[in-house]
Chains A and B, each alone.
Chain A
């Protein structure tokens, strides 16, 4: 009997250690590895690079956080960014009005969000199916509209977004910070945030309490649609063009960031600070791998490996902690 209890405490201690220190330790390990392989890694300019290359990821991750907490997983962001980018570029190309183009772009992203949200909330379709379909059709439309070519945007906006004021921060970085502040506010202070947790916790009970869950489900998609719109703006500015093949795999990165950061896929819990940690992890991974100058294939392989390993540790440690609750039923 004593060996059983000590095994259990052993597991719980390990679980606690991973939960609290696991991710920071992995980040530290990664920084060490990359720094040793590439002397430029720890430089200030590289640090700015990391922020800017992954700005879109960071912003999309905020929306994905809401999605995962409310158990409405969203697989569409990457494809929607491609499509909205193309729409924005085409409107600018045809009207010369950058403001109009941006507004239409963000609106398009929101409309797609409403479309997906409505199908899920009103027709009761599975979020995986609906957003998977969007993943497919949005990308398809983006490619079809441009016949696979990129649409270049020649606008001062591009330069503006990437210009670093005082050599330090660019509007892009500011947008990222604003997105997180907005996210914090929405998640913690508003009804939308509260019901995001409620939907993930127990949808039936939430409905019984009289909350119009359908509208809030759609609301979550509107919010993340807006964020996707902003991310599109950033993406398109960075490349100076709208590429229909842009940001392939962004949704994997975003979902992985959020989960590795500690938000549970079963929903109902998690905080934005978890997402931030996860985004930092993935940004460093992306950046580090690219500075190593490896072949695409090798990059893919190692990236997948690292993500799976990180997920393994994150999920296992949470499993171990479940033991704690069983052990000490109050």
Chain B
């Protein structure tokens, strides 16, 4: 598996190990990239791709291992250092300042001008030049970034990275928010960069893209290096299997219970749900015992859909019927009372109370259950702790005691605690957005198994995820969304990754025959 010393190799990471408290993120990984190639880093969430790339970008040092640029040993103490060595990275979360203009953002920190004063004209000229080199001519460089559409913001982010004249460009999920056309434009730019001998490290979980533009791929699983592939010698299915380490079918079918879907028991019926600019009249049903998977590109409206069911989405119109009765869900409280709960994708920002204990985090929506008695509205710490412990075990949160502060848990355990919270609350309808984000592969299986059990117990589950194979594996029914519309609906077994991928990209042959 070691890289034959290729004269075109520009980057060599050797024996990289990275430990965080309680977690081994990378285990003796080798990774090398050649000039002028587009090299994909492949792996599921939690496989270690981000960690590897962040080490390269200078966010933190490796616990063990070395990095060589052009056979020169380097060590980065700050992102500044890696940039100076010719490495530029574009993260999925944009780092643009919303109130500054495009030009100002590109040159933030390096504004031309004599020490004190900034040379406005020089900024504008250079910004124009940078965008021009990329063939981007439709963005107003004086426009405030906040007012640009997401796709253009991403392009600005890439322009910013390129303005540092890197030799290695790292892109983390660059097409997550882009339409087909935007993505094509991006690929043209990337090919142009290839010709300039720039090495590109490309992280995506869109296998189609990998096949289309990448030359080689390094597959990681659970922090370990699995293999390095020549893309033209492989295909999508092989990529997926290498990534998860087993055949796709067996991974998800393990212990899958026969879905006991009560056809006539409609837990939820949604009619013409709409949010201006985001969601355009979506209708679907959720029956008792089934798992409905919803997928689409970033911004296709699936998150807004989920939020509408939980009362945290503004400007919602349409009808929601719970057990046949039309209801208004204006707040999470009302949703919970209707038996609906939501697990958002931003667990840290939207779910965790870092300075409270694990038990307190888990019990928060269920406090009424732990009152000492009916007359005295005081919380019984004992009851609370017992219940929390029960679910800590069920979901396998690894923690010394239920009283430990949430802050001290690893990311994966934090995620699981939020899951425990809603399981404890015990509601009939569960809406999960990216339930396995940040959870390693072993734990993912547990989560899928748990979802299966929950459904079998008679609940209705909605899972929203951008990972097509995940959706394909666990859903009884799949809803594909594109641009705010529900474009296609599949029963279990009807869909393939290719069909789904096309549907969410809005390929016209796949318009839903039932769409209004």
Complex A–B touching at CB under 8 A? yes
Within 8 A of A (CB), among B85-106: 95-100, 104
Chain B interface: which size bin?
20 to 34
Contact A201 B99 (CB under 8 A): yes
Contact, CB under 8 Å: B116 / A190: yes
Given the interface contacts A194-B104, A198-B108, does A205 sit within 8 Å of B97 by beta carbon? Answer: yes
Name A191's contact: one of B116, B146, B148 (CB within 8 Å).
B116
A197 to B117, CA, bound (A): 15
Q: Is A30's beta carbon under 8 Å from chain B?
A: no
Contact of B99 among A210, A268, A328 (CB under 8 A): A268
Q: Which of B34-83 contact A (CB under 8 A)?
A: 79-80, 83
Which of A198, A202, A208, A328: most chain B CB closer than 10 A?
A208
Pick the contact of B97 from A191, A210, A268 — CB < 8 Å? A268
A326 contacts chain B at the CB level, 8 A cutoff: yes
Residues from chain B with Cβ under 8 Å of A8 in the complex: 315
Q: Are A329 and B277 in contact (CB under 8 A)?
A: yes
Name the residue on B nearest A264 (C-beta). Answer: B99
CB pair B96 A210 closer than 8 Å: no
CA distance A325 to B274 in the complex (A): 17
Cα(A206)–Cα(B79), bound, Å: 12
In the assembled complex, the CB of B513 is this many whole angstroms from the nearest CB of chain A, namely 26
Q: How far is the CA of A326 from the CA of B254 in the complex (A)?
A: 44
Q: B100 — which chain A residues lie within 8 A by C-beta?
A: 197-198, 201
Q: How far is the CA of A323 from the CA of B115 in the complex (A)?
A: 40
Contact A327 B277, CB 8 Å, known A190-B118, A209-B109: yes
Q: Which of B96, B120, B276 contacts A205 (CB 8 A)?
A: B96
- Given A190-B116, A198-B97, A201-B97, also A330-B109 (CB < 8 A): no
Q: Are B276 and A327 in contact (CB under 8 A)?
A: yes
Contact B109 A206 (CB under 8 A): yes
Q: Across the interface, do B148 and A330 meet the contact criterion of CB distance under 8 Å?
A: yes
A103 to chain B, nearest CB (A): 23
0 or 1 for each of B280-292: is its CB under 8 Å from A? (1 = yes): 0000000000000
A194 and B111 contact, CB distance less than 8 A: yes
Residues of B within 8 A of A194 (CB): 104, 111, 118
Report yes or no: A208 in contact with B95, Cβ–Cβ below 8 A. Answer: yes
Number of interface residues of A (CB under 8 A): 28
Of all chain A residues, the one with the shortest Cβ separation from B146 is A325
Separation of A198 and B111 alpha carbons in the complex (Å): 13
Do A4 and B109 have beta carbons less than 8 Å apart? no
A168 at the interface (CB under 8 A from B): no
Q: How far is the CA of A200 from the CA of B120 in the complex (A)?
A: 21
The answer to whether the Cβ of B147 comes within 8 Å of any Cβ in the partner chain is: yes
- Please, what's the 1-or-0 string for B101-132, where 1 marks a CB less than 8 Å from any CB in chain A? 00010001111010111101000000000000
Chain A residues with CB under 8 A of B146 = 325
Contacts of A209 in B (CB 8 A): 95, 108-110
Residue A277 at the chain B interface, CB threshold 8 Å: no
> Which B residue sits closest to A268, measured CB to CB?
B99
Given contacts A191-B118, A198-B100, A210-B80, contact A205 B95 (CB under 8 A): yes
Determine which of B110, B274, B314, B317 lies in contact with A326 in the assembled complex, contact meaning CB atoms within 8 Å: B314
Interface pair B117/A268, CB less than 8 Å apart? no
> In the complex, what residues of A have CB within 8 A of residue B147's CB?
330
B149 at the interface (CB under 8 A from A): yes
Chain A 1-33 near chain B by CB (<8 Å), digits 1 or 0: 100110010000000000000000000000000
Smallest Cβ-Cβ distance to B119: which chain A residue:
A189
A200 neighbours in B (Cβ, 8 Å) = 99
Q: Nearest B residue to A69 by beta-carbon distance? A: B99
Q: Is the CB of A210 within 8 A of B110?
A: yes
**Is the pair A191, B99 in contact by a Cβ cutoff of 8 Å?**
no
A210 vs B117: C-alpha distance when bound (angstroms) = 18
Set of chain A residues within 8 Å of B113, measured between Cβ atoms: 191
Are A211 and B278 also in contact (CB < 8 A) when A201-B100, A205-B96 are?
no
- The complex places the Cα of A307 from the Cα of B97 at a distance, in Å, of 31
Residue of A nearest to B278 (CB): A329
Residue in chain A with minimal CB distance to B277: A329
- Which residues of chain B are near A326, meaning CB under 8 Å? 277, 314-315
- Chain B residues within an 8 Å CB radius of A189: 117-118, 120
Interchain CA distance A190-B117 in the complex, whole Å: 4
Cα separation A265 to B493 with both chains bound (whole Å): 54
Supply 16 A–B pairs (Cβ within 8 Å), ascending by A.
A5-B276, A189-B117, A191-B116, A197-B97, A205-B97, A210-B110, A268-B97, A268-B98, A325-B146, A326-B277, A326-B314, A327-B276, A327-B277, A328-B277, A330-B147, A330-B149
Known A-B contacts: A197-B99, A208-B79. Give 5 more (CB < 8 A). A191-B118, A197-B97, A201-B100, A208-B95, A268-B98
A contact residues vs B (CB 8 Å cutoff): 1, 4-5, 8, 189-191, 194, 197-198, 200-202, 204-206, 208-211, 268-269, 325-330
- Which 6 pairs show the lowest CB-CB distances between chains A and B? A209-B109, A201-B97, A205-B95, A210-B109, A209-B108, A329-B277
